[in-house]
Amino acid sequence: MDKIFEEAFEKILDIEGGYSDHEDDPGGKTKYGITEAIARANGYKGDMRYLTPDQAKEIYYREFWLKHRYNEIKNRDIAIEMFDQAVNMGQSTANRNLQKSNNLLTAAEDIYPIIVDGIIGPQTLRAINHCSKPIALFNVLNGYQIKHYINLAENSNKYKTFIAGWANNRIEIIRK
């Protein structure tokens, strides 16, 4: 496992904490942010309360970091941010946020426009890894994240429980 993944995983452990089964969380039972559905799909058969950090790490590495090619994103901050968004909002939503952020930032130059399909493939990686404005990309990516959380909270009372935590723990802005 690479150094950037190790750092991203430690951040997720800090943010996600341990076991949770909040009635308003559509993810249901989770441990370290791993939903029961994802754990089961990866062969975990036990009670979610007993999922170990090492088991969670292995699932995250395989199913998030490698599968969605975050390990191929050259900018450390963007790679870690993508992992965080994928854990909290789902991989496809996070990947779309990255693609939309790129397209917004490059629209004026008409360079590296990419299809917003939620898949991190060669075109997305080429565009992201050649981005001339990585701080802006990171910040726009976070803008899409808070927009997602605000939309959830505005449209469903059950998400209002989580909005303050999301805003405090998930949104980061890089300042020059």
One domain, residues 176 and 100? yes
pLDDT at 48 over 80: yes
One domain, residues 10 and 94? no
pLDDT of residue 35: 94
pLDDT at 93 over 60: yes
pLDDT at 103 over 90: yes
Q: Which of 21, 50, 67 is the last residue of a domain?
A: 67
Domain containing 30: what range? 1-67
Mean pLDDT of 39-55: 97
The count of structural domains within the chain is 2
- The model's pTM is 0.90
pLDDT digits (tens, 9 = 90+) for 106-116: 887 767 679 99
Residue 30 and residue 55: Cα distance in Å, rounded?
13
pLDDT of residue 118: 98
pLDDT of residue 85: 95
One domain, residues 42 and 119? no
One domain, residues 56 and 127? no
One domain, residues 10 and 95? no
One domain, residues 101 and 164? yes
Query: Of 35-44, 62-71, 143-152, which gets the smallest average pLDDT?
Result: 143-152
One domain, residues 82 and 63? no
Mean pLDDT, the chain, whole residue set? 91
CATH code of the domain containing 38: 1.20.141.10
One domain, residues 27 and 96? no
Q: Which of 24, 44, 67 is the last residue of a domain?
A: 67
pLDDT of residue 176: 55
One domain, residues 4 and 35? yes
One domain, residues 111 and 55? no
pLDDT at 22 over 80: no
One domain, residues 59 and 85? no
Residue with tokens 């997720």: 12
pLDDT of residue 86: 96
pLDDT at 175 over 70: no
Mean pLDDT of 153-174: 79
One domain, residues 102 and 166? yes
Q: Which of 67, 98, 124 is the last residue of a domain?
A: 67
Residue 38 and residue 44: Cα distance in Å, rounded?
9
